[in-house]
Structure formats: structure tokens, C-alpha cells
């Protein structure tokens, strides 16, 4: 498996624009997580899904952020409108603790978002 | 609720010296504990994990960690640092539910001097 795939790797956008980050989890994994990494706040969990259903979105900073998982192989994180304080690295991770017996989350390479 | 504290946001060692990165956790149930490493402009890679088996866990690249319940600690060690170990290290805890929803510590940046 190619691992968790995120796109784009880098995104530069102007304040006020809509930004969409994409994630393809590892095939067969039924949990998907979105994390945000900043210097000030470290790694924060934004939202996670189980079997495509959002379970906990309490980490989503505000209504400008939304996430969807229309099927088992694809998820998006959208920011509309974007603001400079949204600049961060956004990671997607997936896990499948039941089937494999492994209990780790596998991370993508991240999307570095810069809002100017 | 679970939480992780990593003591020291920056640690500097000489090449060949012992590496010790500290992690303390809190958890309401027996935890799963992880150490991840992040190289510049990369994602997080699992170094090792504790999942209630042996308390001394060996990972990749010569790292190991010991789970000490009485101290609520899971410190990461390596006997001899290599230049390639320079990276940021994250300790994380999971309570084994929610597909291993991880709570991360603040990270420790390891610098290795020649």
C-alpha cells in the first residue's frame, strides 16, 4: 500500500479564498483523522471519522472549517473563507485497530498551507 | 481525559552520547503509548509503541522506551546518538478507543552535535 496520501503538499492562497485539502487513507482502514500542526499549538486533532461518519469534530476551530468523507477512500478538509491564522501543516492519518491488531495511526506527508 | 507532557522542547546531545527524551502521561484507563519521529518537511513516522505487553519496548533506529506505570512515564532512550537522529520527537497517548485517537505532547526537538 502507498500509505496515506495527501494533496496538495503545499498550498498558498489569499485570505478569503476557499481551500480544500484532500486525503486518501490506507485501504481497509476504517478510522480517519485530521490533525493540524502549528508552532504555537503543536499537533491538534481537528476531527475524526469512523466508517465515513464524523464522530468527534470538537477540535474544529470554527464554522469556517468543514470536513467530509463521502466514501471509504477519500476525505476533504475545507476552509472557507481562509485566514492567515489558518496557516499550518495539516495531517491526515488512518488506522484500523481491529483487523490488524496494530494500534498505530499512519500519517500522510501533510499539506503545508500558507494564507497570505 | 488523556494528556501528555514532554519535558524539554529542545534537547541537544553530542554524537555518540546517550539520548533521553522524557514523556509523562495521564490517562483514566490503561493507555497505549507511542513515540513518533518527524523529520523536516515530513509526516510522522512511528518509532515504537506500548500496548500492554512488555514494558520495555524496542523500536526502529536503536530507540527504546520503558513504560513505568508508577511514574506515569514513557521515556525514550538511545544509547548512542547519531547525526541522523536529529528530528522532532512526539510522545502520544491513546486510550484504545476511537481507533486510537491520539493525544500528542508538545514535541521535543533533538539536536545532535558532531
pLDDT of residue A99: 52
CA distance B41 to A35: 15
* Chain B residues lying within 8 Å of A97, measured CB to CB: 96, 99-100
**Whole-number CA gyration radius for chain A:** 14
CA distance B43 to A7: 13
Nearest Cα residue in chain B from A42: B106
CA distances from A52 to A62, B46, B107 (A): 21, 24, 30
The answer to whether residues A86 and A78 touch, using CB atoms and an 8 Å cutoff, is no
Give B54's pLDDT tier (boundaries 50, 70, 90): confident
Across the range A89-103, mean pLDDT stands at 77
B46, B96, B99 member nearest A50 (Cβ): B99
pLDDT in tens, A26-59: 999 989 999 999 988 899 999 999 999 999 999 9
Give A1's pLDDT tier (boundaries 50, 70, 90): low
Nearest Cα residue in chain A from B43: A109
Helix/strand/coil percentages in chain B, nearest 5: 10, 50, 40
pLDDT of residue B96: 65
Give B98's pLDDT tier (boundaries 50, 70, 90): low
pLDDT of residue B97: 64
Q: Is the dihedral of CA B13, B14, B15, B17 positive or negative?
A: negative
pLDDT of residue B110: 97
pLDDT of residue A100: 45
* Strand boundaries in A1-115, DSSP class E: 5-7, 10-13, 19-24, 31-38, 42-50, 53-56, 65-71, 74-79, 88-95, 106-107, 111-115
pLDDT at B94 over 90: no
pLDDT at B30 over 70: yes
A33, A107, A110 member nearest B101 (Cβ): A33
Please give the span between the terminal C-alpha atoms of chain A, in angstroms, as a whole number.
36
CA distance A53 to A68: 9
A30, A42, A109 member nearest B104 (Cβ): A42
Give B16's pLDDT tier (boundaries 50, 70, 90): very high
C-alpha cell at A11: 498550498
* Chain A residues lying within 8 Å of B32, measured CB to CB: 103
| Inter-chain residue contact A104 with B49, CB threshold 8 Å | yes
Arithmetic mean of pLDDT over chain A: 92
Which residue in this structure is represented by grid cell 488523556? Answer: B2
Q: Which of the two residues, A106 and B96, has the higher pLDDT score?
A: A106
B35 Cβ neighbours under 8 A, 6+ residues apart: B21, B23, B46, B47, B48, B49, B59, B63, B65, B74, B76, B89, B90, B91, B92
Amino acid at each position: 500500500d502507498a500509505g496515506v496520501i495527501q494533496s496538495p503538499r503545499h498550498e498558498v492562497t489569499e485570505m478569503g479564498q476557499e481551500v480544500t485539502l484532500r486525503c486518501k487513507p490506507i485501504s481497509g482502514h476504517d478510522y480517519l483523522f485530521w490533525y493540524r500542526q502549528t508552532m504555537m499549538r503543536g499537533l491538534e486533532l481537528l476531527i475524526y471519522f469512523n466508517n465515513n461518519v464524523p464522530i468527534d469534530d470538537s477540535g474544529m476551530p470554527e464554522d469556517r472549517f468543514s470536513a467530509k468523507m463521502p466514501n471509504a477512500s477519500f476525505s476533504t478538509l475545507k476552509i472557507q473563507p481562509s485566514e492567515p491564522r489558518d496557516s499550518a501543516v495539516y495531517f491526515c492519518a488512518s488506522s484500523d485497530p481491529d483487523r490488524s491488531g496494530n494500534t498505530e495511526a499512519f500519517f500522510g506527508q501533510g499539506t503545508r498551507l500558507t494564507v497570505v | 481525559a488523556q494528556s501528555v507532557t514532554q519535558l524539554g522542547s529542545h534537547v541537544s546531545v553530542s554524537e555518540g552520547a546517550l539520548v533521553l527524551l522524557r514523556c509523562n502521561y495521564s490517562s483514566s484507563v490503561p493507555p497505549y503509548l507511542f513515540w513518533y519521529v518527524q523529520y523536516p518537511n515530513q509526516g510522522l513516522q512511528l518509532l515504537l509503541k506500548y500496548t500492554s505487553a512488555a514494558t520495555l519496548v524496542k523500536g526502529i533506529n536503536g530507540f527504546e522506551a520503558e513504560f513505568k506505570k508508577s511514574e506515569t512515564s514513557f521515556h525514550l532512550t538511545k544509547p548512542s546518538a547519531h547525526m541522523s537522529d536529529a528530528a522532532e520527537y512526539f510522545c502520544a497517548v491513546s486510550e484504545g478507543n476511537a481507533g486510537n485517537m491520539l493525544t500528542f505532547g508538545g514535541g521535543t526537538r533533538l539536536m545532535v552535535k558532531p
